[in-house]
Structure 1
């Protein structure tokens, strides 16, 4: 190319827009990717408690000696207000699983307390030495109910970068 004639100022070529477009795309993509990941994690958590999931797992989880699954609900309406399972573990331990109270019920703490009382009573009758529970940190009402029931030795368990759970133990007087 010929240089610009003398006396005429050189015109600067604009820089490439590619870095700006790439940065704008990244700014739009990263929050969308994080939101999608959180959505998938929440979907998995909800799926673990779905009816078909429980139908598949109930015979396996609650087929052992001393295991049970308790529900509170309206017999005619067919809606469950709450549930809890007691699963047999090794070493004389029982584990509370699928502990849940349906949102919007009139007395969630009362239902949670009734379920825990029944599960702990069954664990004592089955001669378990202790009962273990692991609850998602978002289940504040259930975590409080478990603490009121006497569970202690609270440990924080990281599930992933966004979610963690509390693991607590209730020591029973008689053991296997």
Structure 2
């Protein structure tokens, strides 16, 4: 399987990310490519572009409030450019997939509460966010099963256990 050609911009808006995961920029790059490679039939042809913003809860809470009407932080937000029918398409330019934004405090607290390594939880959420940019969702059981199954398969290639199985075991 050939990896898609993608420009992945990583913004480090919260220094705690680098302190906890010193290789985070390279990690984001490889995780995004893995997510894009996992379901080739869902990836548009040609060069792609996306951004991953490593932010804090305050930033994510403001975005969640302004764009989703939910005044609380969340672990990851995805803003898919492909959802915007008015998004400009420039011939020869990379296709903009959108933005994935992660919240440091929420992600790190979730990892600690679940007993999962931060790197594993982070990997899951980057893959999850990028899959949202490709149109995957979990609004109903069938969509959720497809998305979660793909996430689980991709994480397994990294030696990371099924995060959804772990949730079921804790209930």
TM-score of the two chains, using structure 2 as the length reference: 0.24
Query: Greater strand percent: which structure?
Result: 1
Larger Rg: 1
Normalised to the residue count of structure 1, the TM-score between the two structures is: 0.23
